[in-house]
Structure 1
Amino acid sequence: MRRWAVNHRKRPPRTRTVPVPRVGVRASLAVALLVALLAWATTWAVTDDGGSTSATTGGSQSPPVGGDEPGTSDDGDSASGSDKGSDDQSDGGSGSAGAGEGGADDEKLEKSVRRFRAAQRKLAERVSEQLARRTAPVELRVASFNVLGDSHTGPGGNKPAFYPDASARMNMTIGLLRANDIDVVGFQEFEASQYGMFTSRAGEYSLYPGLSLGDKSVRFNIAWRSSAFQLVEARSLSIPYAGGSRIEMPVVLLESTTTKRRAWFANFHNPADTPSLGNNARWRAEAAGIEIAYLTDLHQADGTPVIVTGDFNEREEIFCRFTAAGVFSAAAGGSSGGGCAPPSNMQVDWVFGSTGVAFDDYAATPTGRASDHNLVHARATLVAGE
């Protein structure tokens, strides 16, 4: 037993001990230091201009480190009633300043909201005005005129001496446009020399394509009164002419200078049957198909009205094809859609308009010695839009 006791004392049973970190004193010191720093920080305030100033009037003092300092209680509050009152007053002053700043911010926000709402109302009024203008009815005089090309009456031309040269006839043409107050006209056989005459003598009109597409395409210019319309977009459509040769013909988007209402205008000349050109019925049919399909798609894309002028070298045939689907009607009258009932007065020169275009006051005015074609014209109204 003694041996066991001795051995037991020497070698006690093994047990698992968990080491306890020896940080008690260090932790206490760290906490005390942190409290001291926080207490010291609360005695300072940041001024409005970014500088620091002491919250006490007695100058900079070392903050208390522990609760044993004279004049402080165990919980860190000041034991002095006067100091306590000072703290309360400081807190109250700070709260009043915060409330004042908050009130000022609220007032600024309210003013900003009022300005924003006023700007919204003005913008809505301007948008409403623009929409009203762009959907208001617009009236214009539109014409189609084959002016008889210069080459027909110049040296070696095929027209009798009844017709004077192109210069004299151009003066007559301009006079006809002005007398009938034409706003937009589609020309055919408008050769380069005649283009130069017109632009130098009728400065109130703008034209497309001018000479930009070459000497062939100049023959199909569209002219519009610059005070009434401005060009928005210009295109050309390749059309088979005599013998199937392709020529670019103009399509333009014009905008009213007063209402900003827009419409597409296209001008074509389909080939005739002549001894020199032969029979071109095939090419006229192909040209008509291209023209009608393109312009129908153009109109139906967004509902913009389309007005078409041209010398189609056909009467009933082209009328029935253009109006068959009910998309286009003729300024000369007649049916639109369903069975074909052409107007009684038909020229080879036509003015057609898509839905959204109404015609009245149609006329085929004789032009005397100016041309071997009448001036076909009408009042077109772009009806009120949605």
Structure 2
Amino acid sequence: MRSARALSTVVAVVAVAAGCSPASVSQASQQPPSPVGSTAPASGAPGAPGGPATGAPGGAPPSPVTLPGKGSRQSLRQLRDLTQSMADGMTTTSFRVATFNVLGASHTVAGGRHSGFAAGQVRMPWALGLLRSAGVEVAGLQELQPPQIDVLRRLAPGWDLFPTAGAARISRANSITWDSTRWSLLQGHTFPVPYFFGHPVQMPYVLLENRATGLPVWFVNAHNPADAHGPAQQWRAEAVRREANLVTSLAATDIPVVLTGDMNDRADFFCAITALTELHAAAGGDHDGGCHPPAGVGVDWILGTPDVSFDRFVVQRGGLVARTSDHPFLYADVSVGPSQVEGP
């Protein structure tokens, strides 16, 4: 196992590649941050300086994420060398990752679209129970609204959350949470995805370090717009392009990438994202000689880069899941390690 010093060196190289200080905090703007850019505090503690606010609504969405400019090739080569150096001394890291749209509290109030469900603060302990009973270590959550965040903070103090308290309310609705006894935060960022009417909403991505093996993994969580306020296919298509651009940029660091989310599309999402990236889905399917989506696919997804191996994939519906949300609860067993991260 490599020391935290080696990982901090990786973080420093990542930050230098973007021309910023490793200690700086990611700030919001209409333009997305470079995916290997400024870093969040490595503590992951509740109340730490948070993610950026949502970009201002507008017509044309911001430009996609791009890799750093001048000097980036040399810096990325250094990062690959450091990543390989760490991999040489590591065993395989295995963990369970989940994605769950927890059905926002505002949807279940009197007069809401799903008023037949219990209140958000009643349902959130059930969601936490699902995560714990499944042995999940990292989860992408969608529609996580303030009453549900408060419950998570109160009942799961050992779980960290990004974006943190300083972020805009709508940005925190799509969060990444993890068991802080098993993972520590190295970097936290957001990137803009067009949501209803094309208005940009910040989505999170984090670099977490496995405490047992020292292995870093990128986690990205997204929520693409549904047709609830009119046809949104054009915005979903743009969202997929941005998500693909980000994943490609992060994969260039030779660190495994896991993407979770409610993409509000089935085969269309799978075919687009696998055409634009090397991602593969925990649910199966492939893009060899054409697009072949997994059977029985829904709108919720877990995907990984080629250095991520999915050993098991579970979709839970009914029972407690059906009382908690209008979405299924998905989780997958993941393995990453030296055999996956080795380069040519």
Query: TM-score, normalization: structure 1?
Result: 0.64
- Structure 1 equivalent of residue 121 of structure 2: 167
Once the two structures are superposed, residues 226-258 of structure 1 have per-residue CA deviations (whole angstroms, 9 ceiling, x without a partner) of 111000001110111010001111010000001
Give the aligned length.
Answer: 255
Contact 1:308–1:352 (CA<8 Å) still a contact in 2? yes
Q: 1:346 aligns with which of 293, 297, 309?
A: 297
When the two chains are superposed, the root-mean-square deviation of aligned CA atoms in Å is 1.8
The question of whether the paired residues in 1 share the 8 Å contact of 2:87 and 2:215 is answered with no
Q: Does 1:330 align with 2:281?
A: yes
Q: Does 1:142 align with 2:60?
A: no
How far apart are 1:156 and its partner, in Å? 2.8
Instruction: Give, in whole Å, the separation in 2 of the partners of 1:365 and 1:267.
Output: 20
Task: Give the C-alpha shift of residue 212 in structure 1.
Answer: 2.3
Q: Give, in angstroms, the shift of residue 175 of structure 1.
A: 0.6
Q: Which moved more, 1:302-311 or 1:319-328?
A: 319-328
**Residue number in structure 2 paired with 1:75:** none
C-alpha distance after superposition, 1:326-368 (max 9, x if no partner):
6110000011454111111211000010110010210111112
The more displaced of 220-229 and 321-330 is 321-330
List per-residue Cα deviations over 1:35-78 (Å, max 9, x = no partner). Answer: xxxxxxxxxxxxxxxxxxxxxxxxxxxxxxxxxxxxxxxxxxxx
Q: 1:246 aligns with which of 192, 195, 200?
A: 200
The Cα shift of 1:154 comes to: 1.6
Distance 1:326 1:299 in 2: 10
Task: Return the offset for 1:378.
Answer: 0.5
1:309 lines up with 2:282 in the alignment: no
Distance 2:89 2:145 in 1: 36
Residues 1:298 and 2:243 aligned together: no
Partner of 1:157: 112
**C-alpha distance in 2 between matches for 1:338 and 1:205:** 42
Could you say what secondary structure the match of 1:216 adopts?
Answer: helix
2:314 maps to which of 341, 344, 363: 363
* Cα contact 1:232–1:252 (8 A) shared by 2: yes
1:165 positional shift: 1.0
1-structure distance, mates of 2:269, 2:165:
29
Contact 1:147 1:188 survives alignment (8 Å): yes
In the alignment, the residues of structure 1 paired with residue 210 and residue 245 of structure 2 have an alpha-carbon distance, to the nearest angstrom, of: 26
The structure whose Rg is larger is 1
| SS, match of residue 178 in structure 1 | helix
Deviation at 1:194, TM superposition (A): 0.9
Per the normalisation by structure 2, the TM-score is 0.71
Write 1 or 2 for the structure with the bigger share of helix: 1
Q: 1 or 2 for the larger relative contact order (CA 8 Å, sep ≥6)?
A: 2
Which residue pairs with 1:16 in the alignment? none
The answer (yes or no) to whether the contact 1:210–1:218 under 8 Å persists in 2 is yes
List aligned pairs for 1:250-261, cutoff 5 A.
Answer: 250-261=204-215
Change (3 A) 1:382 1:336: farther
Rounded Cα–Cα distance in structure 2 between residues aligned with 1:299 and 1:266: 12
Cα 1:132/1:218, change in 2 over 3 Å? closer
- Report percent identity of matched pairs: 37
Which residue pairs with 2:76 in the alignment?
A: none
Aligned to 2:168: 214
Deviation at 1:211, TM superposition (A): 2.9
Correspondence 1:201 to 2:170: no
> What CA distance in whole angstroms lies between the structure 2 residues aligned with 1:205 and 1:197?
12
Contact 2:94 2:336 survives alignment (8 Å): yes
3-state SS of the aligned residue for 1:237?
strand
Equivalent in the alignment of 1:286: 238
Q: Distance in 1 between matches of 2:330 and 2:99?
A: 5
Report SS of the residue matched to 2:173: helix
TM-superposed deviation, 1:214: 0.7
CA contact (8 A) 2:223 2:261 kept: yes
In structure 1, the partner of 2:14 is: none
Which runs of no fewer than 5 residues in structure 2 stay unpaired? 1-81
SS at match of 2:296: coil
Aligned to 2:8: none
Is the Cα contact below 8 Å between 1:270 and 1:284 reproduced in 2? yes
Q: Measured at CA, do residues 241 and 326 of structure 1 come closer, stay the same or move farther in structure 2, by a change above 3 Å? A: closer
Per-residue deviation, 1:192:
1.4
Q: Which runs of 4+ in 1 moved over 3 A?
A: 130-135
Letter in 1 for 2:212: T
Superposed displacement of residue 157, structure 1: 1.5
1:1-386 matches, cutoff 5 A? 131=86, 135-161=90-116, 163-274=117-228, 277-300=229-252, 302-325=253-276, 327-366=278-317, 367-384=321-338, 385-386=341-342
**Contact 1:324/1:338 (CA < 8 Å) preserved in 2?**
no
SS in 1 for 2:128: helix
The residue type equivalent to 1:286 in the other structure is: E
Aligned to 1:10: none
